[in-house]
Amino acid sequence: MSKIKSLLLLFGSLILLSGCEHMEVLNPKGPMASSLKWLIIYSIIFMLVIVAVVFILFAVFAYKYRYTNTTQSGKVHHSALLETIWFTVPFIILLALAIPT
């Protein structure tokens, strides 16, 4: 994609998304909705933190195990620690989102 097309796509997206100023989710009208506003904000912040961590780890692993790096193999056949981590971390994330709700 040429540089001009990518810039047009970026600025076109920004212009279209700039019309989203009145988010009704964050503007509660009733007492029950006002009391649950913190839950929505908590969920959004929690999910943004998770997305940021995933993007950072993606960049780290992409750099560490890149095609031109011949010193790291990146092949793991069996690791009880890794399997425990990638089953436990999503469970903890689900608990952190489920308990407040």
Write out pLDDT tens, residues 68-87.
766 766 677 787 888 898 89
DSSP single-letter state for residue 41:
H
Residue type, 38: W
Angle between helix axes 80-98 and 37-64 (nearest 10 degrees) is 160
pTM (two decimals): 0.63
Residue type, 22: H
* CA–CA distances in Å: residue 88 to residues 46, 64, 80, 92: 17, 24, 12, 6
pLDDT at 95: 92
Cα 16–17–18 angle (5° rounding)? 95
- DSSP 8-state secondary structure symbol assigned to residue 65: T
Interval 43-67: pLDDT, tens: 889 999 999 999 999 999 888 877 7
Residues 6+ apart with CB under 8 A from 34: 28
Q: State residue 74's pLDDT score.
A: 63
